[in-house]
Amino acid sequence: MMVTRIRGKLQAYRYGGARSLVLLQEEELKRFVTTWRTARDAGLRLARFHDPNYESLEKLLAHVLWWARDYIVWVCEKLQLTDPQIRMVPEPDAIEAELDSYLEHLLERWRAPLIEIPEERFFTPQHTTRWGSHLPVEALLEHAVVHPMRHRLQLLELLALEESRKVLVKNLSGGQQQRLSVAMALINDPDIAFLDEPTTGLDPQARRSLWSVIEDMRHKGKTVFLTTHYMEEAERLCDRVAIIDHGQIIAMDSPRELINNHFRESAIQFELEPAPTEVVLQSFPGTTQVMVSNNEVIVYSNNIPVTMSSILKYAEKTNQTEQLKDLYVREATLEDVFLKLTGRKIRE
């Protein structure tokens, strides 16, 4: 049992996960509001799209608060709880003046309804959402947490471009152009998005932030067509992957099925100069397939200890122990599938 404090009294949650999600929702809403105020102070303007919710910062704020209100009303309805009696979101032209008081009211109403609900009711049954998917209450609460997070990240992307807003697009750096194109594609919350290598040119932090946005779209039942050269990205984000080589689809399935259909072994990867020939590598016990690219070697094995022992003995026998570098064992990945199907690493 988890406890939290509401209005000076200790309140016990029968399910600790509910408490965590309520606190996360509160934190993400506050962080969104902080970013929103930063965007307002910076004079950030949102481009006009067909969706009226995104015509201005005020309408975006109203949109985020409306969904925060709607999620808890929705959850209470699914759990057959008393209506939490949350006031309607202020109109966009009045929302800034009433923001602090409304946010306090909204968060207070979020804290109490789920206190007495047992854990099992958060996972069964599944409920039909407004976007057609079927989810348990736990997943609905997770959506409520991610929604303000996604819009905060989009605002941060736009703020990062604000310093260059008077610069012609052709004069932006490659990374800035990439971030601009992604922001323009997602700012109107589309049902279908086509993203052509969206993380190319982004730093690791920005790349993972965009991953969170795409994952949120997927969880909401939206469709994302994503092209990418990063196999880790495809494996994490995609429900279905098509591998294309020279303009032809040569394999298509879920990431896990693509891997399972082509590899039931683990991989031993290392660097050695000069690398053993494929004939030598195939002679090691347990070896099923090999890939050699310059000095980088990948050996797929159904008996890792035996194959590893053979690699070490080979290095010792050829006096290359000191040249043996970065030796490790890993599970097969989409990168391995691509290598097997095309015979080469993915082209940059």
Phi, psi of 112 (to 5 degrees): -95, -35
Whether 278 is covered by a domain: the verdict is yes
Q: Please name every residue paired with 195 in a beta bridge, in sequence order, or none if there are none.
A: 226
Q: Tell me the two tokens of residue 52.
A: 């009226």
Whether 93 is covered by a domain: the verdict is yes
Whether 213 is covered by a domain: the verdict is no
What is the length of the chain? 348
Is residue 13 domain-shared with residue 145, that is, in the same domain? yes
State how far the Cα of 302 lies from the Cα of 336, in Å rounded to an integer.
15
Question: Where among 143, 168, 193 does a domain terminate?
Answer: 168
Is residue 152 domain-shared with residue 281, that is, in the same domain? no
Summarize pLDDT for 144-181 with one digit per residue, the tens: 888 899 888 878 777 776 666 677 777 877 667 776 77
Contact 307, 268 (CB under 8 A): yes
Round the CA-based radius of gyration of the chain to a whole number and report it: 26
Is residue 13 domain-shared with residue 128, that is, in the same domain? yes
- Candidates 1, 4, 23, 33; CA nearest to 110 is 23
Whether 186 is covered by a domain: the verdict is no
Question: Where among 134, 153, 168 does a domain terminate?
Answer: 168
The per-residue pLDDT for 9 is 41
Q: Please name every residue paired with 227 in a beta bridge, in sequence order, or none if there are none.
A: 196
- Domain of 36: which CATH number? 1.20.120
For the sheet with 266-271, list strands across it.
287-293, 296-301, 266-271, 325-331
Range of the domain at 327: 265-331
Half-sphere exposure of 251 (CA within 13 A, CB side): 19
Q: Tell me the two tokens of residue 344.
A: 């080469």
Is residue 154 domain-shared with residue 11, that is, in the same domain? yes
Whether 190 is covered by a domain: the verdict is no
Q: Tell me the two tokens of residue 243.
A: 């591998």
The per-residue pLDDT for 8 is 39
Is residue 290 domain-shared with residue 159, that is, in the same domain? no
Is residue 38 domain-shared with residue 155, that is, in the same domain? yes
The per-residue pLDDT for 4 is 44
**Per-residue confidence of the chain (348 residues) as pLDDT tens digits?**
444 444 434 357 788 888 888 888 899 999 999 999 988 887 777 765 556 766 788 989 999 999 999 888 888 888 888 888 899 999 988 998 999 999 999 988 888 888 888 888 888 788 777 666 778 888 888 888 888 998 888 787 777 766 666 777 778 776 677 767 777 777 777 888 898 888 887 778 778 777 877 887 787 788 999 999 888 899 889 999 999 888 899 999 999 899 888 888 889 999 998 889 999 999 999 999 888 888 899 999 999 999 999 999 999 999 998 889 999 999 888 888 888 888 765 444
- Domain of 324: which CATH number? 3.30.70
Is residue 141 domain-shared with residue 33, that is, in the same domain? yes
Eight-class DSSP state of 196: E
Give the Å distances, CA to CA, from 128 to 77, 125, 252: 12, 10, 29
- Candidates 224, 78, 66, 92; CA nearest to 139 is 78
Region label for 43, one of left (φ > 0), alpha (ψ between -120 and 50) or beta (otherwise): left
Contact 2, 13 (CB under 8 A): yes
State how far the Cα of 214 lies from the Cα of 190, in Å rounded to an integer.
11
**Which amino acid would we find at residue 17?**
G
Is residue 278 domain-shared with residue 145, that is, in the same domain? no
Based on the structure, what is the number of domains in the chain? 2
Is residue 147 domain-shared with residue 270, that is, in the same domain? no
Q: Where are the alpha helices (DSSP H) in the chain?
A: 16-41, 57-78, 95-111, 137-162, 174-186, 204-219, 231-237, 255-262, 278-282, 304-317, 334-342
Question: Where among 130, 147, 168 does a domain terminate?
Answer: 168
Is residue 136 domain-shared with residue 279, that is, in the same domain? no
Whether 38 is covered by a domain: the verdict is yes
Whether 248 is covered by a domain: the verdict is no
Q: Tell me the two tokens of residue 113.
A: 């309804």
Whether 180 is covered by a domain: the verdict is no
Is residue 8 domain-shared with residue 139, that is, in the same domain? yes
The per-residue pLDDT for 64 is 93
The per-residue pLDDT for 6 is 42
